[in-house]
A and B are shown apart, each in its own frame.
Chain A
Amino acid sequence: MKRISILLIIFTAFSLLISADIDIVTTTSDLAAIASEIGGDKVKVQHIAMGYEDPHHLLAKPSYILKANKADIWIRIGMELEIGWEPNILSGARNSDILVGSMGFLDVSDRIRKLDVPLVADRSMGDVHPEGNPHYWLDPMNGRIIAEEIAEKLSKLYPEYADYFDHNFKEFITRLDIRMFGEEAVKKIGGKLLWKASEDGTLKRLLVENNLKPAGWYGRMLPYQGLKYIAYHSTWVYFNRRFRVETAEYIEPKPGLSPTPSHLASLVKLIGSEKITLLIQSVHYSTKASEYLHAKTGLKVMEVASSVGGKPEIKDYFSLIDGLVDAFTVQDGGK
């Protein structure tokens, strides 16, 4: 009996070693969602900021240091989104594998086409990010780039699973392409060409040439191209560029600044003159100012998740983009 027990213990310990997970810690829940898709059952993914938290205003809780201490890979959005808390976590983690520049460190912003890069960065402009607006994960095209970066890093560090990660990556981007353009278009034209056409502004023509109807997120957002709306913070610039909608003005007078009465008064005028009917804001902002604008002008206020987990129903990257598209299309019953 004693021998059997010892053998069992050895077997269990050996099994644990064999099935050891790759510990990934990401700064945001969106990165965690994509990393889980790529890493599958080979990884254990944790994230620092919750989807309903404002990543600009996180405090570096010591408990985050504990997560980072055990990580094999640290993935961040970059562009100084995490500058208020990431340095404290990494310098306290005592983990040389994930320090900036180490093999286990990954900044997925490297290949992103950056928007709102200020020519001059000055605090009088508000809380600007000198490297550009960091909310790029809200463009599904950038979701593709993030997935590619993660797949490459995982394959490089764990070549024994490279085929598995590559398979997951391809499956992920196929699903993403279909959600974006519809299954028929992806099958007939291919995701790469469709994204290229979306970048060039030739997508509509390409679909017509192939006798295809606009579908997916693109198809749902097409009737809203050119729509102007109010936003709380400059969160949606990448989403706007992809779907060709426009933020007319922000509730924040400058990035990071709380609204002032005079700024709200100017917004009331603008909403009236431009006939704006929609306001979109993340769940982590106060609704006080938007309720005021709703009361004064009647515009529809849509509180949305800007990260996975921002609302209970936003469980993955696909439902995150679904939720944003819904904010435009469902609010007036769709067109």
Chain B
Amino acid sequence: MEKKYSGILLLICLLIISNFMFADGDKDNTGTVQVSSQSLFNPQISVIGDFLFFYSDLDDSILEDGFDIREVEVSFSSNIDVFARADFYFGIHRESDSDEHSDSEEHDHSSIGPGHPSHYAMHLEEGYVTFLALPADFQLKLGKIRTAVGRANTKHLHSLNWIDYPLVVQNYFGDEGMAGVGGELSWLTPLPFYTEIKYQLLHDESDAYFNTGEEAEWYHNFHWKSFFELGADHSLELGFSYFLAESQIAHEHEYAEEAADNDAEEEHVYEDIVHSIFAANMTYMWRPAIRAKYTKIILTAEYYYFMSDNDELKDSTGLYAALDYQFASRWMIGARYDYTERPYDPDRYENHISGYFTFIQSEYAYLRAGYTFADISDAESDNRFYLQLNFGIGPHRAHDF
């Protein structure tokens, strides 16, 4: 485990221990448990486990065959005072090879280190303070926030109806989607239907396609979200995003010429590029109000258009559409189609067709089987099989819409 995270882990352990210590109350003569007043101030602590079995008919597929703990998410939430609340989400997952190599110089060889089969890393997925009620129906978030590009990217992995993020999110923003550190100002408009407009100024902390990795890139993001209740049983959500980021990209031919003549330190020749994304998302839901526990249909689609101010870089697109049907209180089936071009390389693309079958054991656990046929323009097609177990312990989670 990296040294810089050991303090956070210690803090989490202390908070969990204190939660249990203070939560033990005495029973009074009315049978009511009198909880220590201190425990009322503890933040809500939840842990979500995500276990995954994967099998592919290719030797060099996206994951290694076998069973793994994909992620453990530990979250803390509490009001700070009457004006603000804080939410923190830490992800613990196995470090990938690339993480291992990049961290190798900092590694303390006396501890379990990169390359060890049980090496897990912790990172802050999201952590922000929300100022709940600013004047004129504004709200401010400061901290690490998921980027409101489209809809799926704003969600945590466990709250999706699929095993992974849509391909366009993975290919452009990284396996875990895009999040950044900075601020978000949102406004609830006075329109007669729900409409929220967001502006985010963040610097990237993920593997987004525009991030050269040299230093965090600042970006601007605008998001418009409208929601329409179409009677008690139907609803429609529409969203539009416009995203702008500036980063530096190395020119390969110049790089090569420089490399021949200079030392490695002097080889970096970059060009400023302005990247922009237009995204549109739509979610239709049918959920009969009278027996909502038993059935629902969700149709979701998102479209992304990626542009830059560099004429040499071709525009590219990505999209997905998914249909999910809960046909009984504990059973759900779904399908998703993904089409995504590689960043600025529309000649290289991927088509995915996926199917899912979910058994909802309870509100706190589900088991999902999935299959994906991946058609990749410049590689062999891939048949991927998944089995996912997701569960949560801790307080009742509010239901995402």
Partners in one complex: yes
Residue interface mask A72-116, B partner, CB < 8 A = 1: 000000001001111110011111100111100000000000100
Does residue B133 face the partner (Cβ distance < 8 Å to A)?
yes
Tell whether, in the assembled complex, residue B292 and residue A286 are in contact, meaning their CB atoms are under 8 Å apart.
no
Tell whether, in the assembled complex, residue B193 and residue A50 are in contact, meaning their CB atoms are under 8 Å apart.
no
Does residue B363 face the partner (Cβ distance < 8 Å to A)?
yes
Does residue B138 face the partner (Cβ distance < 8 Å to A)?
yes
Pick from A52, A60, A87, A117: contact of B31, CB under 8 Å: A117
Q: Which residues of B contact A257 (CB under 8 A)?
A: 362
Pick from A86, A102, A283: contact of B290, CB under 8 Å: A283
Q: Which residues of B contact A227 (CB under 8 A)?
A: none
Please tell me the size bucket of the interface on A. Answer: 35 or more
Does residue B327 face the partner (Cβ distance < 8 Å to A)?
no
A60, A100, A258: most-surrounded residue (chain B CB, <10 A): A258
Tell whether, in the assembled complex, residue A119 and residue B188 are in contact, meaning their CB atoms are under 8 Å apart.
no
Contacting A at CB under 8 A, from B36-74, are none
> Complex Cα distance A285/B376, Å?
46
> Complex Cα distance A53/B294, Å?
12
B130, B134, B290: most-surrounded residue (chain A CB, <10 A): B290
Q: A117-B33, A119-B33 are in contact. Are A59 and B287 (CB under 8 A)?
A: yes
Nearest residue (CB) in A for B395 is A83
Tell whether, in the assembled complex, residue B139 and residue A94 are in contact, meaning their CB atoms are under 8 Å apart.
yes
Q: Which residues of A contact B82 (CB under 8 A)?
A: 96, 99, 101-102
> Complex Cα distance A23/B51, Å?
47
> Complex Cα distance A221/B261, Å?
98
Pick from A65, A80, A87, A123: contact of B188, CB under 8 Å: A65
Q: A99-B132, A99-B133 are in contact. Are A58 and B188 (CB under 8 A)?
A: no
Q: Which residues of A contact B393 (CB under 8 A)?
A: 123
Tell whether, in the assembled complex, residue A62 and residue B194 are in contact, meaning their CB atoms are under 8 Å apart.
yes
Q: How far is the CB of B217 from chain A (nearest CB, A)?
A: 29
Does residue A216 face the partner (Cβ distance < 8 Å to B)?
no
Q: How far is the CB of B284 from chain A (nearest CB, A)?
A: 13
Chain A residues in contact with chain B, CB under 8 A? 50, 52-54, 57-63, 65-66, 69, 80, 83-88, 91-96, 99-102, 114, 117, 119, 123, 127, 256-258, 283-286
**Apart from A88-B400, A256-B362: 8 A-B pairs, beta carbons within 8 A:** A59-B400, A61-B401, A63-B228, A94-B132, A99-B82, A99-B132, A284-B293, A286-B293
- Return the 9 tightest CB-CB contacts between A and B, nearest first: A96-B133, A62-B227, A62-B194, A52-B290, A63-B229, A94-B137, A57-B293, A88-B398, A59-B401
